[in-house]
Amino acid sequence: MSMYTRSEPYEHTLKSGETAYICQCGHSNTPPYCDGSHAKYPGTEPLIYSAAKDETVYICGCGKTGNKPWCDGSHTAS
């Protein structure tokens, strides 16, 4: 399974001080969150992201971003 099969980003709201473990290998069964699948793909680890304030983050769902794992709007390019 790949987390990069969507035509839109994953939207995740975090509260100040909350931590998210964001998949970076692309093979999580619980995208966009890490489920440990990276163990099968040496050299990949989840991004451990801690919110300094209440915020909403947008995580790439198409795999085209130039700023992995964050969405940069590439899913809208033709």
Q: In angstroms, how far is CA 18 from the centroid of its own chain? A: 16
**pTM, to two decimals:** 0.87
Distance, CA of 13 to CA of 2 (rounded, Å): 22
| Range from 43-47, 50-54, 74-78 that averages highest in pLDDT | 50-54
Indicate whether 2 pLDDT > 90.
Answer: no
Mean pLDDT of 3-29: 94
Q: Is residue 53 part of a domain?
A: yes
Average pLDDT in the chain: 93
The answer to whether residue 69 is domain-embedded is yes
| Whether pLDDT at 69 is above 70 | yes
**Domain of 25, in residue numbers:** 10-76
Q: Is residue 59 part of a domain?
A: yes
3-state secondary structure of 28: coil
- Note whether residue 1 is domain-resident: no
CA-to-CA dists, residue 74 to 42, 64, 70, angstroms: 27, 6, 10
User: Does the residue 28 lie in any domain?
Assistant: yes
- Give me the number of domains the chain comprises: 1
